[in-house]
């Protein structure tokens, strides 16, 4: 009985140990994770998600997050191609595509991605001018993304986007750019004003040519102007009289005046008597007598 009891005790211990051994081999990996498994130092591959079993005590597993990782790069000082010092901050988005490469090919893929992003950003900024950095930011983002993605591809990573977040300029450069923008807007305003004056002059020239072809149009315009003036409650209205309206009357008066002068002129060429003024005449005053002088 003692032997059987000892055997049963040993068997129970073995069963417990076996159960512990079996249970210790179970692993749970979330949906957004993968477990990279090493058995005796040899890569078995990535497992998951869910529940699976691995040989215990000889297995090492590292969980890799497959979600998109956001890296906010601190401000980087760089000198552009036109020798302007700027401070640029950016944001990098990436995720793990191949968990095996992310574990085997790089020691710390997060830190390595941060370092390569900072150096690439400074390099691209050094090859660009300030105007390109401010106006063609999308092109710079694509250039930085392509370079980072090329380096991180063998690490099992995929860079989805790189966005330049902020660009800090020196105070002197900001004032210079403000003056430049003001001068550019003033130039545009002057050009628009000149174009408006040119169009107005062209329209007035076309209107004058049209009125010259139709004299009645000038009279209609004159009457319309009188109507517009008459709307206001003014006591005195001074307006010019167009020459075209009084030209026939002037010509008629000139003809009548020339005929009367011809008829009144004497035939012998003598001057006509001076015209007599109508009305009462002033009495004539006799001149004073001369005083006698002493001899």
Sign of CA dihedral 104, 106, 111, 114: negative
Residue 285 pLDDT more than 50? Answer: no
Say if 235 falls within a structural domain: no
Same domain, 204 and 191: yes
The pLDDT score that the predictor gives to residue 284 is 45
The pLDDT score that the predictor gives to residue 243 is 63
**Residue of higher predicted confidence among 27 and 272:** 27
Say if 165 falls within a structural domain: yes
Whole-prediction pTM:
0.59
| Number of independent structural domains in the chain | 3
Say if 141 falls within a structural domain: yes
Residue with tokens 């008597």: 273
Same domain, 41 and 26: yes
The pLDDT score that the predictor gives to residue 128 is 87
Neighbours of 91 (CB within 10 A): 15
Question: Residue 31 is part of which domain span?
Answer: 8-64
Residue at a domain's end among 228, 260, 276: 228
Same domain, 112 and 179: no
Same domain, 158 and 73: yes
pLDDT tens digits along 231-275: 666 556 665 666 666 666 677 777 777 655 445 445 444 444 544
- What average pLDDT does the segment 69-89 reach? 88
The pLDDT score that the predictor gives to residue 277 is 46
- What average pLDDT does the segment 91-109 reach? 94
The pLDDT score that the predictor gives to residue 144 is 92
Say if 142 falls within a structural domain: yes
Say if 54 falls within a structural domain: yes
- What average pLDDT does the segment 20-26 reach? 86
Residue at a domain's end among 45, 64, 83: 64
Say if 191 falls within a structural domain: yes
pLDDT tens digits along 119-131: 999 999 888 888 8
Same domain, 21 and 96: no
SS3 content of the chain, % helix, strand, coil (to 5): 50, 20, 25
**Residue of higher predicted confidence among 156 and 22:** 156
Same domain, 58 and 85: no
Say if 184 falls within a structural domain: yes
Those residues whose C-beta lies under 8 Å from the C-beta of residue 113, and which sit 6 or more positions away, are: 69, 71, 92, 94, 148, 152, 155, 157, 159
Same domain, 88 and 134: yes
Q: What percent of the chain has pLDDT over 90?
A: 29
Same domain, 130 and 50: no
Give the Cα separation of 97 and 68 in Å (integer). 10
pLDDT tens digits along 138-188: 999 999 999 999 999 999 999 999 999 888 888 877 787 788 888 888 888
């Amino acid at each position: 009985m003692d032997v059987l009891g000892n055997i049963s005790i040993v068997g129970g211990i073995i069963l417990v140990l076996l159960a512990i051994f079996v249970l210790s081999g179970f692993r749970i990996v979330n949906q957004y994770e993968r477990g990279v498994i090493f058995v005796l130092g040899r890569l078995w591959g990535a497992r998951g998600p869910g529940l699976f079993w691995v040989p215990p005590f000889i297995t090492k597993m590292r969980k890799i997050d497959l979600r998109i990782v956001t890296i906010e790069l601190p401000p980087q000082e760089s000198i552009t191609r036109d020798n302007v010092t700027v401070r640029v901050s950016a944001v990098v988005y990436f995720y793990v595509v191949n968990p095996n490469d992310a574990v085997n090919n790089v020691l710390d893929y997060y830190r390595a991605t941060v370092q390569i992003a900072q150096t690439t950003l400074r390099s691209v900024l050094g090859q660009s001018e300030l105007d390109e950095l401010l106006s063609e930011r999308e092109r710079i983002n694509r250039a930085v993304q392509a370079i980072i993605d090329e380096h991180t591809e063998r690490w099992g990573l995929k860079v989805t986007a790189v966005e330049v977040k902020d660009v800090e300029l020196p105070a002197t450069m900001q004032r210079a750019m403000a003056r430049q923008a003001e001068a550019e807007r003033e130039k545009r305003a002057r050009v628009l004003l000149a174009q408006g004056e040119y169009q107005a002059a062209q329209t007035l020239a076309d209107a004058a040519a049209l009125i010259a072809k139709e004299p009645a149009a000038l009279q209609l315009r004159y009457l319309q102007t009188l109507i517009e003036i008459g709307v206001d409650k003014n006591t005195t209205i001074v307006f010019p009289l167009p020459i075209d309206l009084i030209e026939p009357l002037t010509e008629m008066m000139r003809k009548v005046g020339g005929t009367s002068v011809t008829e009144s002129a004497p035939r012998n060429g003598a001057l006509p008597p001076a015209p007599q003024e109508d009305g009462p005449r002033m009495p004539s005053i006799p001149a004073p007598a001369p005083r006698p002088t002493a001899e």
